[in-house]
Amino acid sequence: MSILNITVFLSSSAFLFYGINCLSSKKMTQEFIRFGLDTQKRLLTGYFQLLGSLGLVFGYFLLPDLVFIASAGLTLLMLLGFLVRIKIRDSLLQSLPSLVFALINLYICFEYYDRLSLV
């Protein structure tokens, strides 16, 4: 299994887990309050995480264009998450996971760019 395949499955698994937690966990509800984000933004984030996760999986097996779109969306989502953590002055250790997942998805996005049917 290649590094690219591992990153796709790692990212899709992580975002499936975090998307479900974002929608249903009381701890995540409290985190979003701490972030200064309302319920609507928490739910939207959770749905985007789930859609990104499913986009990576279905795109991997069926449509490479979907992997590109999903990874680009997850990259943006995680960059915004990183900026929120910087804004509320979280430590580097607390902020690092969002940055790492942004970079992982950026890598996936660049790798799938060449596979786009539009190019």
pLDDT tens-digit profile of 14-53?
A: 999 999 999 999 999 999 999 999 999 999 999 999 999 9
In a domain, 64, yes or no: yes
The pTM assigned to this predicted structure is 0.94
Please give the pLDDT value at position 116. Answer: 87
Q: Which letter does DSSP use for residue 62 in this model?
A: T
Q: CB burial class (10 A; 0-12, 13-18, 19+) of residue 1?
A: exposed
In-domain check, residue 99: yes
User: Considering the domain boundaries, does residue 118 fall inside one?
Assistant: no
pLDDT at 1 over 90: no
Q: Does residue 80 form part of some domain?
A: yes
User: Measuring CA to CA, which residue among 113, 4, 15 is closest to residue 69?
Assistant: 113
In the chain, the number of structural domains is 1
pLDDT band (50, 70, 90) for residue 117: confident
pLDDT in tens, 97-112: 999 999 999 999 999 9
Structural domain boundaries enclosing 82: 3-113
Model confidence band, residue 118 (pLDDT cutoffs 50, 70, 90): low
Residue 57 located in a structural domain:
yes
